[in-house]
């Protein structure tokens, strides 16, 4: 049985790489594992040799101590790998297949899964609908920032790349299919982005940049990205976006400078609950800032896609209401402008096959858009630190040294 190493959350601001157990076809007890899931048999699972596993902004919320994640939790929900073993109930996925893993864990059997709402599967998390690998309050499924990872319901969850050699040539792009590319795309679809649209995207981190690339793929005429970070705004400009520096103030005036009017057709929140204020308040945390500013700049009758993460428990929040996920949102403004809102995890399987095809046929260069940067697994702590400092990169962990060869 091969040795296994994984990236482990050890407390606020601290991640380490540790030796860990090789996956088994049973969910074992451990940090964050829901007691009702302990001992759950997984004959329908597959074990993957990890080819690429990404650091996500959602992971950073846990590492900053802004969730109730327990120390010892193995991190990582963005997994691309090669199948090395399958359980006895796996029928169609085969050893040797190169696959993408949706970050949502879903059974394929419940009502929500059958309605393509795989982000709120009813059967994988005993506490509430919806689950993910290596994430707090998501059932305790072991994270994939590791040499080897286990995927339940393999025939259902795994997206097989049709040509392994071709896939390895584009592996950095395909590694974005697990989460941020579908998530950004979902934000744009939810906001109604289409041909000729004007779009404002709050946040120039990887999800915001993926949303911007998605907006162009959907036919947007003008894509405007707002952020406080100059390096990230420069990254947005590198593939044709307009940029708004919200440290200068509310985005409305800068949008008017770009478009001639102070409103856009569609807006996407790619920031979430750790949002900071605009202008003079840009150094302070104001978790409702982005949602309120999007309502301000979106035209009446428009829609807001909200893939940015909001939580029900935030021990690091600055006030008691925000600690429970209660924010001072100007819902009256949204109501008066007849806005539509779509929130929640992205149902990755709704989009990942089509986006895979777009990548394989050179319709989008998502790795370039988000500045995907491979690093070895043992450099994960450095990647987390630099990402937290605002690096304009999407760090991709490469446990087995396969990505440079492919590139």
How open is the CA angle 383-12-278, to the nearest 5 degrees?
A: 75
Can you tell me the distance from the alpha carbon of 29 to that of 139, in angstroms, rounded to the nearest whole number?
Answer: 11
Among 269, 284, 274, residue whose Cα is nearest residue 316 = 274
Sheet containing strand 222-227, edge to edge, reads 242-245, 222-227, 198-202, 264-269, 298-306, 340-343
Q: Which residues contact 184 (CB under 8 A, 6 or more apart)?
A: 207, 208, 209, 210, 211, 212, 213, 214, 268, 270, 307
Q: State whether residue 16 is helix, strand or coil.
A: strand
**pTM, rounded to two decimals:** 0.95
| Structure confidence at residue 203 as a pLDDT band (50, 70, 90) | very high
Average pLDDT, the chain: 94
Q: Is residue 121 a contact partner of residue 92, using CB atoms and an 8 Å limit? A: no
Mean pLDDT of 218-236: 97
Can you tell me the distance from the alpha carbon of 323 to that of 337, in angstroms, rounded to the nearest whole number?
Answer: 29
Mean pLDDT of 205-209: 97
Tell me the Cα Rg of the chain. 20
| Predicted pLDDT at 185 | 98
| Structure confidence at residue 132 as a pLDDT band (50, 70, 90) | very high
Say if residue 405's pLDDT is above 70: no
Question: Roughly what angle, to the nearest 10 degrees, separates helices 230-237 and 206-217?
Answer: 20
DSSP letter at 75 equals P
Percent of the chain with pLDDT over 70: 99
Q: Answer yes or no: same fold for 4-179+347-406 and 180-343.
A: no
Tell me which of 3.90.190.20, 2.60.40.1180, 3.40.50.720, 3.40.640.10 is the CATH number of domain 180-343: 3.40.50.720
300 in the Ramachandran plot: left (φ > 0), alpha (ψ -120 to 50) or beta? beta
Summarised one tens digit per residue, pLDDT across range 334-369 is: 999 999 999 999 999 999 999 999 999 999 999 999
| Structure confidence at residue 332 as a pLDDT band (50, 70, 90) | very high
Say if residue 407's pLDDT is above 80: no
| Predicted pLDDT at 324 | 79
Owner of token pair 């690429």: 52
| Predicted pLDDT at 361 | 97
Tell me which of 3.40.80.10, 3.20.20.20, 3.90.180.10, 3.30.930.10 is the CATH number of domain 4-179+347-406: 3.90.180.10
Q: Report how far apart, in Å, the C-alpha atoms of 63 and of each of 16, 55, 66, 175, 231 are.
A: 11, 11, 7, 22, 23
What is the b/e burial string over 186-200, where b = at least 16 CB atoms within 10 angstroms of the residue's CB?
bbbbbbbbbeebbbb
Domains of the chain by residue range: 4-179+347-406, 180-343
Say if residue 406's pLDDT is above 70: no
Summarised one tens digit per residue, pLDDT across range 67-121 is: 889 999 999 999 999 999 999 999 999 999 999 999 999 999 999 999 999 999 9
| Predicted pLDDT at 188 | 98
| Predicted pLDDT at 327 | 82
What is the b/e burial string over 234-247, where b = at least 16 CB atoms within 10 angstroms of the residue's CB?
ebbeebebbbbbbb
| Structure confidence at residue 273 as a pLDDT band (50, 70, 90) | confident
Which DSSP string corresponds to 117-177?
-GGG-SSS-SSSS--BTT-TTTT-PPPSSBSEEEESSHHHH-EE-S-HHHHHHTHHHHGGG
| Predicted pLDDT at 89 | 98
DSSP letter at 370 equals T
Summarised one tens digit per residue, pLDDT across range 11-44 is: 999 999 999 999 999 999 999 999 999 999 999 9
Instruction: Write the burial class of residue 286 (CB in 10 Å: 0-12 exposed, 13-18 middle, 19+ buried).
Output: middle
Q: What count of other Cβ atoms lies within 10 Å of the Cβ of residue 280?
A: 9
| Predicted pLDDT at 372 | 97
Instruction: Write the burial class of residue 28 (CB in 10 Å: 0-12 exposed, 13-18 middle, 19+ buried).
Output: middle
| Predicted pLDDT at 280 | 77
Q: Is residue 332 a contact partner of residue 292, using CB atoms and an 8 Å limit? A: no
């Amino acid at each position: 049985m091969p040795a296994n190493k994984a990236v482990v959350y050890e407390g606020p601001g601290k991640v380490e790489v540790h030796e860990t157990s090789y996956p088994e076809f049973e969910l074992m007890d451990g940090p964050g594992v829901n007691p009702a899931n302990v001992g759950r048999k997984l004959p329908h699972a597959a074990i993957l040799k990890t080819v690429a596993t990404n650091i996500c902004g959602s992971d950073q919320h846990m590492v900053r101590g802004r969730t109730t994640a327990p120390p010892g939790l193995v991190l990582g929900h963005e997994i691309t790998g090669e199948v090395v073993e399958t359980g006895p109930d796996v029928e169609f996925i085969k050893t040797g297949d190169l696959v993408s893993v949706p970050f949502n864990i879903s059974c394929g059997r419940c009502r929500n899964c059958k309605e393509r709402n795989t982000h709120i599967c009813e059967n994988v998390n005993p506490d509430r609908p919806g689950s993910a690998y290596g994430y707090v309050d998501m059932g305790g499924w072991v994270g994939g920032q590791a040499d080897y990872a286990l995927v339940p319901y393999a025939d259902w969850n795994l997206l097989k790349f049709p040509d392994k050699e071709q896939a390895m040539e584009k592996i950095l792009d395909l590694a974005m299919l697990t989460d941020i590319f579908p998530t950004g795309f979902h934000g744009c679809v939810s906001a109604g982005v289409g041909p000729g649209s004007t779009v404002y995207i709050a946040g120039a981190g990887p999800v915001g940049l993926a949303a911007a690339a998605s907006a162009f793929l959907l036919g947007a005429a003008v894509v405007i990205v707002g952020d406080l970070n100059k390096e990230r705004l420069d990254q947005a400009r590198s593939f044709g976006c307009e940029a708004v520096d919200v440290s200068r103030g509310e985005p409305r005036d800068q949008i008017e400078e770009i478009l001639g009017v102070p409103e856009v057709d569609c807006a996407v929140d790619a920031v979430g609950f750790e949002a900071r204020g605009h202008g003079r308040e840009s150094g302070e945390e104001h978790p409702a800032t982005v949602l309120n500013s999007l309502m301000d700049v979106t035209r009446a009758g428009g829609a807001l896609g909200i893939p940015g993460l909001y939580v029900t428990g935030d021990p690091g929040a600055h006030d008691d209401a925000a600690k429970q996920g209660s924010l001072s949102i100007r819902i009256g403004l949204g109501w008066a402008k007849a806005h539509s809102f779509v929130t929640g995890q992205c149902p990755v399987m709704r989009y990942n096959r089509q986006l895979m095809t777009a990548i394989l046929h050179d319709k989008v260069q998502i790795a370039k858009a988000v500045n995907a940067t491979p690093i070895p697994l043992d450099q994960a702590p450095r990647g987390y630190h630099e990402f937290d400092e605002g690096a304009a990169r999407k760090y991709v962990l490469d446990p087995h040294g396969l990505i440079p060869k492919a590139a």
